[in-house]
Structure 1
Amino acid sequence: MKLDILVFAVHPDDAELGCSGTILKHIALGKKVGIIDFTRGELGTRGTAETRDQEAADSARILGLHARENLRFKDGFFKNDETHQLEVIKMIRKYQPEIILTNALHDRHPDHGRAGDLANDAIFLSGLIKIETLVNGVTQEAWRPRLVLQYIQDRYIQPDIIIDITDFVDKKEQAIRAFKTQFDSPDSSEPQTYISSPEFLDSVTGRAREFGKQIGVKYGEGFTSRKLLGVDNLFNLL
């Protein structure tokens, strides 16, 4: 299946926190969107790899995703090397997206930046015809998307572009809360963590308000770009 947008996320719930409003908006516009999780988040203090699998599936249904896969890289210990790059390249070539959204390049969690670099390196290499990848014995075609953006995660980073997600912020919260073991829950007996406090989700909403304010809407999601962005019509800009 060819996708319009492919999202890479090192942990299940990264895409929900960073760009699920944008995912929802584009699915509502008729675009096909999928998520590739790199790891199962098995080093997380709360929950297990198995509960995260189920939560990711629950969130996928809320978002209306057209595909979601997990590469099962080793949480915390995956590398930006040839072995991992080739697995990411296979996903790019499989889904042939026009746009890819990836983890932040710099963040509090070291996995985020490493995953962002891994995705960006694999995206470039995916366009080289002399790198051969096989799936089920069939050689894949080289593919490189037209646009790559990084969603902003825990650390505040000045965005290069902001997407209006005002109409989708409530459903974004539903998708985040599908990860019941990870976030604030009065029924949980697991240890408190940085992301399990009520204030953490308040900060996610607060950032969306701040980004929205910068473009004159109620809620927004911010993205960075490694290259200059261009438009062919000034009236497409808010």
Structure 2
Amino acid sequence: MGDRNAEGALQVVTTPEYEAMVIGAHPDDDDFAAGATSALWARQGKKVVWVVMTDGTEGSEVPSLSNTELMLAREHEQRLACETYGVKDIEFLRFPDGHLTNNEETRRAVVRLIRKYRPRLVFTHDPSQYLFAPDPDEQPNETGHINNPDHRATGSIVLDALFPAIGNPRAYRELLAEGLMPYKVHELYLFYSSQINTYIDVSETIDIKGKGLLCHATQFGPDTKLAEMVRERAAKVAQEAKEKKGLDMQFAEAFRRVKLYIPPETQAEK
């Protein structure tokens, strides 16, 4: 905008406080998508914060179970998982599970948290991913599935918050009174995307991811082979990284990486 140097104009903050914010729709979504990456970066001393958009109260097949009881149980499980990964900060926004929509309330909540923590990069669901479906002619014994609408809504909310609201001094001006200044996120990492371009070597933390996921006892029974499934999936992703990028990894997590802001000093180094 042309008046950024005018009297009273606010400068947008570009210096991050945290390395990453992972924003998932439900308890355990962040684990599946970026649990090993978060554990790796936490080991490296990087500050990572997780956000859970919904209260998780549709994550059960028992209709008579109290919403409050299930919500608190799932939040407790998520905190235990975060302890396993070394993630010290987590926010629960508690929007109704199964009914998440992209609206003023949800966008404002995300804008507030990103301005509060100022992550260098944000992980979230790819909102354009409606279906996960193999070609039935190539894989006749495999079924596809429809992406959860809360996942798609979360991605849409985050992207609409990232631009223009988070960096716009006139968007949600009531947040200025909390000291939450306009801010630029440097990078966006979309998970479960059909346009993967980035692979992170998580060989040293893949077993931690398995242990963290097992903290979600309301979702996975004691006899589940979840840890083995996690390793198998990460090994396939690592193989894909080798085939597409020539990268040599044993286990990997994959994302669509988008650069949103390049600091001037970084540009000068090139």
Instruction: Pick the aligned partner of 1:12 from 27, 31, 56.
Output: 27
Shift of 1:138: 2.2
Aligned to 1:145: 185
Aligned to 2:172: 132
Q: Does 1:98 align with 2:120?
A: yes
Shift of 1:227: 5.8
Instruction: Pick the aligned partner of 1:61 from 83, 86, 92.
Output: 83
SS of aligned partner of 1:221:
strand
The change in CA–CA distance for 1:208 and 1:228 in structure 2 (over 3 A counts) is farther
Whole-angstrom distance in 2 between the partners of 1:114 and 1:72:
14
Shift of 1:218: 0.7
| 8 Å Cα contact 2:184/2:261 also seen in 1 | no
| 8 Å Cα contact 1:2/1:94 also seen in 2 | no
Instruction: Pick the aligned partner of 1:43 from 47, 58, 63.
Output: 58
Aligned to 1:217: 249
Shift of 1:104: 3.0
Which structure 2 residues correspond to residues 1-238 of structure 1 after superposition, within 5 A? 2-45=17-60, 48-105=70-127, 106-107=129-130, 108-124=147-163, 125-134=165-174, 137-152=177-192, 157-186=194-223, 198=225, 202-213=228-239, 214=241, 215-226=247-258
Whole-angstrom distance in 2 between the partners of 1:207 and 1:228:
29
Whole-angstrom distance in 1 between the partners of 2:40 and 2:173:
33
| 8 Å Cα contact 1:8/1:102 also seen in 2 | yes
Paired AA for residue 209 in structure 1: A
Shift of 1:226: 5.0
Whole-angstrom distance in 1 between the partners of 2:18 and 2:32:
21
The change in CA–CA distance for 1:142 and 1:228 in structure 2 (over 3 A counts) is closer
4+ runs deviating over 6 angstroms:
none
**Number of aligned positions between the proteins:** 217
| 8 Å Cα contact 1:4/1:32 also seen in 2 | yes
5+ long unaligned stretches in structure 2: 1-15, 131-146, 242-246
Once the two structures are superposed, residues 18-75 of structure 1 have per-residue CA deviations (whole angstroms, 9 ceiling, x without a partner) of: 1111111111121100101111211112582121011011111111113101011111
Whole-angstrom distance in 1 between the partners of 2:47 and 2:258:
24
5+ long unaligned stretches in structure 1: 187-196, 233-238
TM-score (norm: length of structure 1): 0.83
When the two chains are superposed, the root-mean-square deviation of aligned CA atoms in Å is 2.5
TM-score (norm: length of structure 2): 0.73
Which stretch shows the higher mean deviation, 45-54 or 11-20? Answer: 45-54
Paired AA for residue 115 in structure 1: T
Once the two structures are superposed, residues 83-113 of structure 1 have per-residue CA deviations (whole angstroms, 9 ceiling, x without a partner) of: 2100110000000111111123215212111
